[in-house]
């Protein structure tokens, strides 16, 4: 299957073959057999050249716009219309040229894609200004995104896809910021439009930097979308469970779909793991479990129920992903990290068991403290588990992240609890000593391994 071979490892192996032949470890025939097994050498595009070409195209487009703007007021309406569509016509001509003559040149595709997207925005803006078409910035972004997404697929532009994802975030905040409580469900439709392109990139070149960049842009946009959706749906305090499920899903997907030969995590798994730790700390505060009492499904709009279903989707997906690998006994993830959605759901149930609040806003129930204590225990166990995995795999970064999680929990309780200063001081001393001891052990273990 395309993308199943680690291209970075193959490039490293190709570079080692001459040295292995010279040292007599393998014969020349074996080296040629290895070369033929992995196929012909693929040409690598200089990523910095792609960026420079894209920036150059953007600057040229900006310069043309400024030159036109200098004499804009002196032009007739017909001339303004021609000028508005002229960059778009040039961009479309360049698209045809690239598809016919430079289809395999990534710098050409990326640069023309950026110029085409800019030309679309220019045409929309100038036509709206010329004919006094009223509308909000969110409406402008929506039209721009819908007209730009075909360019992503036509020119196979990863940079354009990343810009498109950023545009969905801009549309989301423009829509939510200026018109309070406005339906944000279109965000998910806009975001889903770029997912097939990511799947194509993933299938063709899973280990490339471009795929990794798009793979991290999509989860970041999903985090923003889920936050606004949770606020819009106003479910019975399911936001904590939803974010626990989202970050756990990101972490599990990073482990499962972006495996690495070494013990280091892919950037997607790293992002999800950090999100799991932060979510655990946030939910350890008692205020996170102050409940409201709003019906789950009754007396809600259709879009509100869709938003509620989206909140349920990520915890269910996380449990299914973890459960599938556990049943097959092929999991490499932390069981403590994967269990966050279940722990958050149990805490939510505990907080809701107690006497229902009568106030309309956030209310402290009799079981809010019990729910927070459960998450405190979980966060502590998560930090210990990450620390232990770091020591076992000789990973200083992972061990320090586990200690950092424990320290963050201690600092949170410093401001959140009524413990005495002596107790707090002892707690900080213990955590600091843990940092020193863990790092000393890891450095000694690494030095012993190097010496051996």
Ranked by mean pLDDT, which of 17-31, 242-256, 362-376 comes out on top? 242-256
| Res. 43 pLDDT band, cuts 50 70 90 | very low
Indicate whether 111 belongs to any domain: no
- pLDDT on residue 218: 95
Residue 189: how many CB atoms within 10 A of its CB? 10
Q: What is the rounded distance in angstroms from the CA atom of residue 328 to the CA atom of residue 360?
A: 46
Q: For the chain, what is the HEC assignment?
A: CCCCCCHHHHHHHHHHHHHHHHCCCCCHHHHHHHHHHCCCCCCCCCHHHHHHHHHHHHHHHHHHHHHHHHCHHHCCHHHHHHHHHHHHHHHHHHHHHHHHHCCCCHHHHHHHHHHHHHHHHHHHHHHHHHCCCCCCHHHHHHHHHHHHHHHHHHHCCHHHHHHHHHHHHHHHHHHHHHCCCCCCCHHHHHHHCCHHHHHHHHHHCCCCHHHHHHHHHHHHHHHHHHHHHHHHHCCCCCHHHHHHHHHHHHHHHHHHHCCCCCCCCCHHHHHHHHHHHHHHHHHCCHHHHCECCCCCCCCCCHHHHHHHHHHHHHHHHHHHHHHHHHHCCCCCCCHHHHCHHHHHHHHHHHHHHCCCCCCCCCECCCCHHHHHHHHHHHHHHHHHHHHHHHHHCCCHHHHHHHHHHHHHHHHHHHHHCCCCHHHHHHHHHHHHHHHHHHHHHHHHHHHHHHHC
Comparing CA positions, the residue from 272, 282, 245, 284 lying closest to residue 401 is: 272
CB-based contacts of 202, cutoff 8 Å, min separation 6: 3, 211, 215, 257
Euclidean distance between CA atoms 202 and 332, whole angstroms: 21
Mean pLDDT of 1-24: 64
Domain membership of residue 36 (yes or no) is yes
Q: At what angle do helices 267-283 and 396-416 cross, to 10 degrees?
A: 20
Q: In 3D, which of 244, 249, 250 has the Cα closest to residue 284? A: 244
Tokens of 134: 């009223």
Q: How far apart are CA 11 and CA 6, in angstroms?
A: 9
**1: pLDDT strictly greater than 60:** no
Res. 3: pLDDT tops 50: no
Average pLDDT over residues 89-116: 84
In a domain, 330, yes or no: no
Q: Which of 9-13, 40-44, 139-143, 443-447 has the lowest mean pLDDT?
A: 40-44
Among 152-156, 298-302, 349-353, 447-451, the range scoring the smallest mean pLDDT is: 447-451
The pLDDT, as a whole number, for residue 4 is: 43
Q: How far is the C-alpha of 450 from the C-alpha of 452, rounded, in Å?
A: 5
The pLDDT score that the predictor gives to residue 2 is 40
Tell me how crowded residue 258 is: count the other CB atoms within 10 A of its CB.
Answer: 18
pLDDT band at 443; cut points 50, 70, 90? low
pLDDT of 72: 62
Phi/psi for 291 (5° steps) reads -90, 150
Integer angstrom CA distances of residue 193 from 182, 187, 305, 327: 21, 10, 22, 33
Does residue 98 form part of some domain? no
Of 370, 377, 344, 351, the residue nearest 241 (C-alpha): 344
Per-residue pLDDT for 21 more than 80?
no
Q: Which long-range contacts (CB under 8 A, 24 or more apart) does 170-175 make?
A: 170/141, 171/138, 171/141, 171/142, 171/145, 172/224, 172/225, 172/228, 173/224, 174/136, 174/137, 174/138, 174/141, 175/138
Average pLDDT, the chain: 78
Highest mean pLDDT among 106-115, 129-138, 306-315, 416-425: 306-315
How would residue 99 be classed by pLDDT, with cut points 50, 70 and 90?
confident
Task: Tokens 């349920």: give the residue.
Answer: 312
Q: Does 384 or 358 have the greater pLDDT score?
A: 384
In this predicted model, what pLDDT tens digit does every residue of 67-93 receive, in sequence order?
A: 665 566 666 778 778 877 887 888 888
Q: Which residues are 291's β-sheet partners?
A: 363
Q: Is the pLDDT of residue 357 over 70?
A: no
Residue 315 falls within a domain, yes or no? no
Structural domain that includes position 27:
1-42
Q: What does the pLDDT read at residue 349?
A: 87
Higher pLDDT, 299 or 228: 228
Residue 9 belongs to some domain of the structure: yes
Structural domain includes residue 28 = yes
Dig out the tokens for 363 from the structure: 């209310």
Confirm whether 447 is domain-assigned: no
Structure tokens at 264: 């280091």
| Residue in 179, 177, 69 with CA at minimum distance from that of residue 126 | 69
Question: Residues 238-246: what's their mean pLDDT?
Answer: 90
Taking the CA of residue 406 as centre, how many other CA atoms within 13 Å lie in the half-sphere pointing to its CB? 24
Q: Structural domain tally of the chain?
A: 1
Distance CA 231, CA 235 (A): 8
């Amino acid at each position: 299957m395309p993308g199943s071979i680690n291209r970075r490892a193959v490039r490293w192996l190709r570079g080692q073959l001459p040295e292995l032949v010279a040292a007599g470890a393998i014969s020349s025939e074996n080296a040629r057999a290895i070369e033929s097994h992995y196929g012909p050498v693929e040409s690598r595009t200089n990523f910095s050249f792609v960026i420079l070409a894209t920036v150059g195209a953007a600057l040229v487009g900006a310069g043309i716009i400024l030159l036109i703007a200098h004499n804009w007021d002196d032009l007739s309406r017909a001339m303004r219309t021609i000028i508005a569509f002229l960059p778009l016509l040039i961009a479309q001509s360049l698209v045809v040229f690239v598809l016919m003559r430079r289809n395999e040149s990534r710098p050409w595709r990326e640069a023309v894609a950026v110029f085409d997207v800019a030309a679309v925005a220019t045409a929309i803006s100038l036509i709206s200004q010329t004919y006094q078409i009223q509308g909000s910035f969110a409406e402008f972004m929506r039209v721009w995104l819908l007209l730009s997404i075909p360019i992503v697929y036509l020119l196979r532009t990863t940079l354009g896809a990343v810009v498109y994802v950023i545009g969905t975030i801009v549309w989301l905040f423009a829509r939510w910021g200026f018109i309070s409580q406005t339906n944000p469900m279109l965000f998910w439709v806009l975001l889903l439009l770029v997912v097939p392109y990511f799947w194509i990139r993933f299938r063709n070149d899973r280990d490339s930097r471009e795929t990794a960049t798009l793979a991290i842009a999509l989860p970041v946009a999903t985090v923003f979308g889920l936050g606004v959706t949770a606020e819009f749906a106003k479910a019975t305090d399911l936001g904590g469970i939803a974010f626990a499920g989202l970050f756990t899903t990101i972490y599990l997907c990073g482990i499962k779909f972006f495996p690495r030969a070494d013990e280091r995590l892919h950037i997607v798994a790293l992002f999800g793991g950090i999100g799991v730790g932060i979510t655990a700390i946030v939910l350890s505060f008692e205020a996170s479990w102050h409940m409201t009492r709003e019906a789950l499904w009754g007396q809600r709009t259709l879009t509100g129920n869709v938003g509620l279903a989206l909140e349920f989707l990520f915890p269910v997906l996380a449990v299914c992903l973890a459960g599938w690998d556990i049943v097959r006994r092929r999991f490499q993830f932390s069981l403590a990290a994967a269990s966050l959605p279940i722990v958050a759901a149990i805490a939510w149930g505990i907080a809701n068991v107690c006497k229902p609040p009568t106030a309309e806003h956030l209310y402290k129930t009799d079981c809010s403290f019990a729910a927070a204590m459960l998450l405190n225990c979980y966060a502590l166990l998560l930090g210990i588990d990450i620390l232990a995995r770091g020591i076992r795999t000789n990973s200083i970064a992972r061990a320090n992240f586990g200690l950092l999680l424990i320290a963050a929990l201690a600092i949170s309780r410093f401001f959140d609890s009524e413990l005495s200063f002596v107790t707090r001081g002892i707690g900080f001393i213990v955590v600091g000593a843990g940092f020193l001891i863990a790092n000393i052990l890891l450095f000694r273990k690494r030095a012993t391994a190097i010496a051996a």
